[in-house]
Structure 1
Amino acid sequence: MSQPQVVKEEDLSLLVDLYELAMAQAYWSEGMDGKAVFSLFFRQLPDKRNFVLACGQQNVVSIIENLTFTDEHIGRLESLDRFQPAFLDWLRDFRFSGSVHAVAEGTPLFPQEPLLEIEGPIAEVQLLESLVMNYVHLESVLASKAVRLAFAAESRPVVDFGMRRTHGLDAAHRGVRAYRLAGLAGTSDVLAGLDFSMPVYGTMAHSFVQACADELDAFRIYAKLYPGTTLLVDTYDTRASVRRIISWLKNNPEVSIGGIRLDSGDLLAEAEDCRKMLDEAGLTDIKIMASGGLDEYRIAELLSSGAPIDGFGVGTAIGVSNDEPALELAYKLTEYADLPRMKNSPGKQSFPGPKQIYRRLGTDGRIVQDIVAGRDEVHDGTPLLRPVMKHGRIVEGAILSLDDQVRAAGNAIDTLPERFRSLEPIGEVPTLISDFLKALQRDTLDKVNRRAKNTPD
Structure 2
Amino acid sequence: MSDATTTDLYEVTMAMSYLREAMTGPATFSLFVRDLPSDRGFLVGAGLESALDFLSGFRIGAEDVDVFASALHRPPADVDALLGLEFTGQVRAVPEGRIVLAGEPLLEVTAPLPQAQLVETYVLNQVSHQTAIASKAARCVLAAAGHPLVDFSLRRTHGPQAGFQAARLSAMVGFTGTSNVAASAAEGLPAVGTMAHSYVEAFGTEEAAFRAFARCHPGPVTFLVDTYDTDTGVATAARVLRDLDRGPGCAVRLDSGDLGALAVRARALLDAAGLPDVRVVASGGLDEYAVDKLVRAGAPIDIYAVGTRVGVSADAPFLDSAYKMVDYAGRPVMKLSSAKVTAPGPKQVFRRSGYADVIALADEQPPEGGMPLLETVMLKGRRVAERPTSEAGRKRFAADLAELPSTARSIRAPVAPRAVASERLTALTDRVRHRIEEKTLARTGDRRRSGPASSGSHRSLRK
1:407 aligned counterpart, secondary structure: helix
CA positional deviation for 1:149: 0.7
Choose 31-40 or 414-423, whichever is displaced more. 414-423
1:273 aligned counterpart, secondary structure: helix
2: CA distance between counterparts of 1:290 and 1:369?
Answer: 38
Instruction: Name the residue aligned to 2:268.
Output: 276
Question: Is this contact kept in 2: 1:100–1:118, CA < 8 A?
Answer: yes
> Does 2:411 match 1:423?
yes
CA positional deviation for 1:325: 0.6
Supply the AA of the counterpart residue of 1:100. V
Supply the AA of the counterpart residue of 2:29. F
The counterpart of 1:244, out of the listed 215, 220, 236, is: 236
Instruction: Name the residue aligned to 2:460.
Output: none
Provide Cα deviations, 1:186-223, integer angstroms capped at 9, x if missing partner: 11111122222221111100000010121111111222
Instruction: Name the residue aligned to 1:168.
Output: 159
1:120 aligned counterpart, secondary structure: strand
Supply the AA of the counterpart residue of 2:372. P
1:124/1:172 CA distance change after superposition, 3 Å? same
Supply the AA of the counterpart residue of 1:395. V
Instruction: Name the residue aligned to 1:214.
Output: 205
Q: Which runs of 5+ in 1 are unaligned?
A: 1-9, 362-366
Choose 109-118 or 292-301, whichever is displaced more. 292-301
1:87/1:252 CA distance change after superposition, 3 Å? same
The counterpart of 1:151, out of the listed 122, 142, 146, is: 142
Instruction: Name the residue aligned to 2:193.
Output: 202
CA positional deviation for 1:75: 1.9
Aligned ranges 1:285-364 → 2 under 5 Å: 285-361=277-353
CA positional deviation for 1:405: 2.2
1:256/1:150 CA distance change after superposition, 3 Å? closer
TM value normalised by structure 2: 0.91
2:208 aligned counterpart, secondary structure: helix
1:84/1:41 CA distance change after superposition, 3 Å? farther
Instruction: Name the residue aligned to 1:404.
Output: 392
1:454 aligned counterpart, secondary structure: helix
1: CA distance between counterparts of 2:313 and 2:364?
Answer: 37
2: CA distance between counterparts of 1:79 and 1:157?
Answer: 51
1: CA distance between counterparts of 2:197 and 2:380?
Answer: 55
Bigger radius of gyration: 2
Which has more helix, going by share of residues?
A: 2
Question: Is this contact kept in 2: 1:181–1:410, CA < 8 A?
Answer: no
CA positional deviation for 1:315: 1.6
Supply the AA of the counterpart residue of 1:182. V
Instruction: Name the residue aligned to 1:451.
Output: 439
Supply the AA of the counterpart residue of 2:172. L
Supply the AA of the counterpart residue of 2:437. N
Provide Cα deviations, 1:84-127, integer angstroms capped at 9, x if missing partner: 76663332211111100000101111111000000011111000
1:304/1:108 CA distance change after superposition, 3 Å? same
Instruction: Name the residue aligned to 1:376.
Output: 363
2: CA distance between counterparts of 1:222 and 1:199?
Answer: 20
Supply the AA of the counterpart residue of 1:390. L
Provide Cα deviations, 1:35-58, integer angstroms capped at 9, x if missing partner: 110000011111121111110124
Instruction: Name the residue aligned to 1:388.
Output: 377
2: CA distance between counterparts of 1:357 and 1:255?
Answer: 52
2: CA distance between counterparts of 1:244 and 1:138?
Answer: 43
Q: Which runs of 5+ in 2 are unaligned?
A: 446-463
Question: Is this contact kept in 1: 2:355–2:404, CA < 8 A?
Answer: no
1: CA distance between counterparts of 2:75 and 2:358?
Answer: 45
Question: Is this contact kept in 2: 1:133–1:331, CA < 8 A?
Answer: yes
1: CA distance between counterparts of 2:247 and 2:412?
Answer: 44
Question: Is this contact kept in 1: 2:92–2:109, CA < 8 A?
Answer: yes
> Does 2:92 match 1:101?
yes
Supply the AA of the counterpart residue of 2:271. D
Instruction: Name the residue aligned to 1:264.
Output: 256
2: CA distance between counterparts of 1:182 and 1:254?
Answer: 32
Provide Cα deviations, 1:6-39, integer angstroms capped at 9, x if missing partner: xxxx621001111111110111111111111000
CA positional deviation for 1:421: 1.0
Supply the AA of the counterpart residue of 1:73. D
Question: Is this contact kept in 1: 2:50–2:126, CA < 8 A?
Answer: no
Question: Is this contact kept in 2: 1:58–1:102, CA < 8 A?
Answer: no
C-alpha RMSD over aligned residues: 1.8
CA positional deviation for 1:257: 6.0
Q: State the identity %.
A: 39
Provide Cα deviations, 1:231-258, integer angstroms capped at 9, x if missing partner: 1111111111222233334444367661
TM value normalised by structure 1: 0.92
The counterpart of 1:16, out of the listed 7, 18, 27, is: 7
1:80 aligned counterpart, secondary structure: helix
Provide Cα deviations, 1:157-200, integer angstroms capped at 9, x if missing partner: 11111111111222112222221222112111111222222211
Choose 112-121 or 151-160, whichever is displaced more. 151-160
Aligned ranges 1:108-119 → 2 under 5 Å: 108-119=99-110
